[in-house]
Amino acid sequence: MPDIQLGAHTFRSHGTKVLRFHMHDWLILVLLAVIDIILNVIDPFHRFVGKDMMTDLKYPFKGNTIPFWAVPIIGILLPFAIFIGLYFKRKNVYDLHQAILGLLFSVLITAVLTDAIKDGVGRPRPDFFWRCFPDGIGVFDNVTSNVICHGKKSDIKEGHKSFPSGHSSWSFAGLGFLSWYLAGKIKAFDRRGHVAKLCIVILPLLCASLVAVSRVDDYWHHWQDVFTGGLLGFIVASFCYLQFFPAPYHVDGTYLVSLYPI
C-alpha cells in the first residue's frame, strides 16, 4: 500500500480524479435510489387481517416522535458533517470520498432491502385498526372475516408496511457506519483500555437505538420490526465499512491512503 502525505491530497488537487475513478460506483448509487423510489410507490402485499386478529392492532393512531424527514438528517447529514470536519483537519480526500461513498451505499442498500421486505411481507402496523376504520366501526367480510377498509388510502397503504422498521434500519445503517468510522479514527481497539474511546463509538449506536425505540412508543411498529430493522441496518453498515476501509483494529485503519495511482 503506497504511503501518502496527509494534507497533500485535497479536493482541489485530487477530487476530480477520485470521482472519475469511482464513477461506476456513483452510477450504482443512483440505480439503488431509483429502485427504492419504485418500491415506495408500489402497493405492498395486503396480508389477510381477520376480525380475531384485531386485538393486537388497535393501538392509537398517532404522529411520529421522529418524523420521516428527520431520519436522513440523523443517519446521513450528521455523519457527513463529521466526515467533512475531519477532512478539514487532515486534508485527505481519499478518506473523505470513501467515507461518503460507503455511508451512502450502507443507507441505500439498507433502504432497498427494507422496502422490498416491507412490500413482500405486508405486515399490519399496531395501529392498523384505526387506519382501516377511522370511525371506529369495523367492517369485515361475512365469509372470510377479512377487513373491508374504508379509511384513507395512503394510511391503509402505510398500515401494511410494519416489517421491518425503516426508521430503525436507516438509523443503524447510517449511525452504525459512523460508529465503525469513529472506531478506526480514534483507534478504539488499540488495547490500551481507554473507556472514553468506547463511549464515543457507542454514542451513535445509542442515538440509533433511541430512534428505534420511538417507533414502538409511537405504535407504528411491533418490537420484532424494530429489532429486525436495526439488525439489518447494522449488518449492512458493517459490510459496507469493511468494503471501503480496513478493519478499525488494523494498523492502517486510522486514515485511508490511496489504493490506486492518481
Can you read off the three cell numbers belonging to residue 214? 420511538
Q: What three-state secondary structure class fits 210?
A: helix
> 109 phi and psi, to 5 degrees?
-65, -45
Q: Which residues lie closer than 8 Å to 43 by C-beta, 6 or more apart?
A: 119, 157
SS3 140: strand
Active site residues: 167, 221
φ, ψ for residue 100, nearest 5 deg? -65, -45
Are 181 and 241 in contact by the 8 Å Cβ rule? The answer is yes
Cell representation of residue 79: 455523519
